[in-house]
Structure 1
Amino acid sequence: MKQRHVETSTIKMNVVDEGHGPAILLCHGFPETSYAWRHQIEALAKAGFRAIAPDMRGYGGSEQPRAVDEYSVFHVVGDMIALLDVLGEQHAVIVGNDWGATIAWQAAQMRPDRFRGVVALSVPIMGRPPVPPTRIFPRSDDAELYTLYFQEPGVAEAELERDTRRTLRKLLFAASGDAGPRQPGDATPNPFGMVSRDDGLLAPLPDPKELPAWLSEADLDVYADAFTRAGFRGGLNYYRNLDRNWQLQAALAGIKVELPALFIAGERDTGLQIPGMSEIIKAVPTLAPRIRAPLIIEGAGHWVAQERPDSVSAAIIEFAVTTFAAM
């Protein structure tokens, strides 16, 4: 993929920009880069769209502000607006996976004047909880939820950066549909679950002898090179702003996403097993009243855009064609 650096009004960003036509902005999650959208970029460009996929703030070749508090959702949504501005695009459909989905929902809520629709992969829109998120997440004497494990700067970095390639191999495999069935009570190790205070995040995760079909050694090389150069600090800083986001979002409480929306998830997505997630998904239409019926893709896990690229690309294209035609 052809990459270039773009100087925006917020940060310098490394961007893949392919095709001509209505813009579709693709926001990756953790631990990914713009490379996560390699299949969609090609498909969207061939279908007559302009596919724009940045390395998000703190990732890959994009700028990495030092201060932790510069990774709030307000900063990252600001980056997306600034990127559209410098590329000369007034409107776009915004698509996101994992943290990118959270950014996509927030962008649709904050700036409906700039986005025509939102496609969220893996993470549904959620209402603002009554207390800061870190007060809700479970912890015990022996373990804590991964989001709490990520809070203290330097702790998770020390583990994840010890062997970057092994870290990515374990995380990408363990959260994929190839790691095994994801059912209530399933004992398959979950990278987005509880973390032992003694063993850390990676120890219980399987280390596959062979990579799944959707992730080649060359693909893993690209990710490993990006995270070897950039480290994991930028991506972890998104988690360190969960409570700050909660405070800032008080001003947006009660605002619905009124844009057309689509939620896509893999049937075996580890995130779907988080306690209370089924109730959250059922409540989505009250927060995004123009959302379509969810698309749940059989056999896929958390990296659904990479695991089932043809299905995801087709869904995004159909959604974008319909959405832009209604303008």
Structure 2
Amino acid sequence: MQTFTQTFIETNGIRLGVAEQGAGPPVLLLHGFPETSYAWRHQLAALSSAGFRAVAPDMRGFGRSDCPAEQAQYTTLDIIGDLVGLVEALGEQNAVVVGNDWGATIAWQAALVRPDRFRAVVALGVPMMDRAPLTPSKLFPVMQQAWFYTHYFAQPGYAEREFEADVATTLRKLYFWASGDAGPRDINTPNPFGLVPREAGLLDALPQPAALPTWLSEHDFEVFVSAFAASGFRGGLNYYRNLDRNWDLQAAFSGLQVQTPALYLVGEYDTGLAIPGMQEIISMMPKLVPGLRGSQIIQGAGHWLQQEAPERVNTAVIEFLHGL
């Protein structure tokens, strides 16, 4: 039963749709792609019961929030600006920020550049990473027959046409194959976060699941389908289209460490763990995040961690929050 409230908040020149529940110290919950604030439905209730004010925005370009027309308006700093304005609009001085997938990337960077506004960070799936030696477009592989999924996403119109042709099929495939229900990750497991054949689309290599993943009800699935049928996928894809620009902007913060308290959680079957070098990046995090209070692997879960293992995520996050 839905017990959170839904409102709109004006911030940083745009309007954000926001789901909120509870009273107490604020906790911002940042979703990833392709998700909306509804991905945090389990956490809104749990955090409220634990004495916190849980606030989950539809990030710019998603759900009920505005979707700026210009591709360049989706950099990490644009999103952080939205969050700074959101904290102020809530009448708060600061907040803990929790994120999954793209939301984790934004959460890390928000704590890095504005620790005065974001006093602690919890990241799901995506670890804190140092600035790469090359721009992402040069770092990720490009081959004659295939390209890395971020290159595919970077082509305006390509992924939109594929994903929007049948929103339900798109989400059914992505949610299942990136989740723990797809099982352990190896070279024989279809991986939506990998190479895309140039003569096909990202979804073509993914079989149609026989059923929804066990953690996603038909009702909850329809909420996501309705959201993306209305908004389309362009806003979310524009985050990927600013990867090189984010790299440029990150030069200004090179050498900074995340000084706030931090917690990292990742699903055992998260597709990101199969990316070469990711295990080494995770092991190096304490150098970038001296306030890291723990890294936990959630057994049996995949990329949509807060939806797949809500009780375990809630327990870990609330314990961390009470320790601040």
TM-score range, shorter chain: over 0.9
The reply to whether residue 251 of structure 1 matches residue 290 of structure 2 is no
- Deviation string for 1:52-94 (max 9, x for gaps)? 0000000000000000000000000000000010110111110
- Deviation string for 1:131-183 (max 9, x for gaps)? 2111010121111110110001111100000000110000000100001212x
Task: Give the match for residue 207 of structure 1.
Answer: 208
Q: Matched residues in 1 for 2:163 and 2:13: separation?
A: 28
The reply to whether residue 108 of structure 1 matches residue 111 of structure 2 is yes
Task: Give the match for residue 43 of structure 2.
Answer: 40
Q: Matched residues in 2 for 1:46 and 1:186: separation?
A: 42
Letter in 1 for 2:91: G
Alignment of 1:97-246 (within 5 A): 97-182=100-185, 185-246=186-247
Letter in 2 for 1:104: A
Q: Matched residues in 2 for 1:205 and 1:2: separation?
A: 36
The reply to whether residue 24 of structure 1 matches residue 27 of structure 2 is yes
Shift of 1:226: 0.4
Task: Give the match for residue 69 of structure 2.
Answer: 66
Q: Matched residues in 1 for 2:7 and 2:53: separation?
A: 15
Give yes or no for contact 1:214–1:306 (8 Å, CA) kept in 2: yes
Letter in 1 for 2:26: A
TM-score normalised over the length of structure 2: 0.98
Task: Give the match for residue 265 of structure 1.
Answer: 266
Give yes or no for contact 2:262–2:294 (8 Å, CA) kept in 1: no
Q: Matched residues in 1 for 2:20 and 2:33: separation?
A: 21
Q: Matched residues in 2 for 1:143 and 1:58: separation?
A: 28
Q: Matched residues in 2 for 1:224 and 1:2: separation?
A: 20
Q: Matched residues in 2 for 1:9 and 1:250: separation?
A: 23
Give yes or no for contact 1:10–1:82 (8 Å, CA) kept in 2: no
Q: Matched residues in 2 for 1:10 and 1:74: separation?
A: 14
Task: Give the match for residue 308 of structure 2.
Answer: 307
Give yes or no for contact 2:181–2:214 (8 Å, CA) kept in 1: no
- Deviation string for 1:280-306 (max 9, x for gaps)? 111111100110231100000000100
Q: Matched residues in 2 for 1:270 and 1:196: separation?
A: 18
Q: Secondary structure at 2:228's aligned position in 1?
A: helix
Task: State the 4+ residue runs in structure 1 displaced beyond 2 angstroms.
Answer: none
Q: Matched residues in 2 for 1:213 and 1:2: separation?
A: 26
- Deviation string for 1:245-291 (max 9, x for gaps)? 01111100000000110110000000010011011111111100110
Q: Which structure 2 residue ranges, 5 or more long, are not aligned?
A: none
Q: Secondary structure at 2:140's aligned position in 1?
A: coil
Q: Secondary structure at 1:116's aligned position in 2?
A: strand
Q: Matched residues in 1 for 2:266 and 2:14: separation?
A: 31
Q: Matched residues in 2 for 1:306 and 1:62: separation?
A: 21
May I ask how many residue pairs the two structures share in their alignment?
321
Q: Matched residues in 1 for 2:5 and 2:160: separation?
A: 29
Task: Give the match for residue 90 of structure 2.
Answer: 87
Q: Matched residues in 2 for 1:44 and 1:263: separation?
A: 18
Letter in 1 for 2:44: I
Q: Secondary structure at 2:293's aligned position in 1?
A: coil
Q: For 2:7, which of 4, 8, 11 is the aligned residue?
A: 4
Q: Matched residues in 2 for 1:269 and 1:139: separation?
A: 23
Give yes or no for contact 2:17–2:64 (8 Å, CA) kept in 1: yes
Task: Give the match for residue 283 of structure 2.
Answer: 282
Letter in 2 for 1:314: T
Q: Secondary structure at 1:203's aligned position in 2?
A: helix
